[in-house]
Chain A
Amino acid sequence: EPEVTQTPSHQVTQMGQEVILRCVPISNHLYFYWYRQILGQKVEFLVSFYNNEISEKSEIFDDQFSVERPDGSNFTLKIRSTKLEDSAMYFCASSVGYSGQPQHFGDGTRLSIL
Chain B
Amino acid sequence: KAGVTQTPRYLIKTRGQQVTLSCSPISGHRSVSWYQQTPGQGLQFLFEYFSETQRNKGNFPGRFSGRQFSNSRSEMNVSTLELGDSALYLCASSKSGRPNYEQYFGPGTRLTVT
Chain A complexes with chain B: no
